[in-house]
């Protein structure tokens, strides 16, 4: 079912570009983890590759303590923008100062391997990030954040925090999933050439790592969101991939 018309009253250009939750492959229950566990075993992922279900739920309850009875704003910088997998009441454009999109998370499954890891985008400290914020209605926060935590916190490499996001309609206190700098997957301060080469050459069960970066750039362009650093990385990774044949 498409989103209601009023959801995009502040962002009419996004209407028709956002995947409704009932069409999203990212809206899944705990049974999905059984499939991923089998995949992890087949691909030789290390023990502890994902969060325990009880640990994940405890994290959700702690982060949302005192907020489950009110509307929830969420900042989106990647696939959450165009495929939130939750029921949304309102979209706004949002700017997050002090944070940036960065391919700083090592990827050893899906679009990478242990032998040739790739990289995934995350929010890291420093710089500026343009994206969107969306609002989940108070009555649905308990239900919808369960789906969100399964998706964003399945591996425990993010840290859910509340940050002030600037929007044309005013500042909002929004939930953001930022890179956990204490996580073993964090790869800070990679030179652009090294990051581009990792992305260009990595491939896993879900396909090439470059396809993930390519999809991100195409969607940001389609949505009218600018990120010059990501565009440079994309161009460099594409050239490296072409050179490698």
- Give me the active site residues, please: 152
The H or E element spanning position 194 is helix 192-201
Quote the tokens at residue 56: 């994940």
Q: CA separation (Å) from 140 to 31, 46, 114, 175?
A: 21, 35, 39, 15
CA distance 29 to 150: 8
CA-nearest of 104, 91, 67, 81 to 3 is 91
User: What is the C-alpha separation between 61 and 26, in angstroms, rounded?
Assistant: 21
């Amino acid at each position: 079912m498409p989103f209601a018309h009023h959801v995009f009253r502040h962002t009419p250009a996004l209407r028709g570009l956002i995947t409704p939750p009932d069409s999203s492959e990212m809206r899944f229950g705990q049974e999905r983890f059984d499939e991923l566990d089998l995949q992890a075993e087949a691909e030789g992922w290390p023990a502890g590759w994902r969060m325990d279900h009880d640990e994940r739920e405890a994290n959700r309850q702690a982060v949302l303590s005192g907020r489950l009875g009110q509307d929830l704003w969420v900042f989106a910088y990647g696939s959450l923008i165009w495929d939130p997998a939750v029921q949304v009441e309102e979209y706004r454009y949002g700017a997050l100062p002090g944070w940036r999109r960065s391919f700083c998370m090592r990827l050893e499954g899906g679009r990478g391997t242990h032998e040739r890891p790739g990289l995934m985008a995350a929010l890291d400290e420093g710089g500026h990030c343009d994206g969107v914020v969306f609002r989940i209605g108070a009555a649905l926060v308990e239900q919808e954040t369960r789906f969100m935590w399964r998706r964003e916190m399945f591996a425990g490499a993010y840290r859910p925090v509340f940050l002030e996001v600037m929007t044309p309609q005013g500042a909002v206190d929004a939930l953001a999933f930022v890179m956990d700098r204490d996580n073993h997957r964090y790869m800070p301060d990679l030179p652009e050439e090294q990051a581009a080469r990792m992305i260009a050459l990595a491939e896993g069960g879900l396909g090439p790592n470059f396809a993930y970066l390519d999809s991100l750039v195409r969607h940001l362009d389609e949505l009218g969101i600018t990120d010059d650093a990501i565009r440079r990385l994309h161009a460099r990774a594409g050239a490296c991939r072409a050179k490698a044949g």
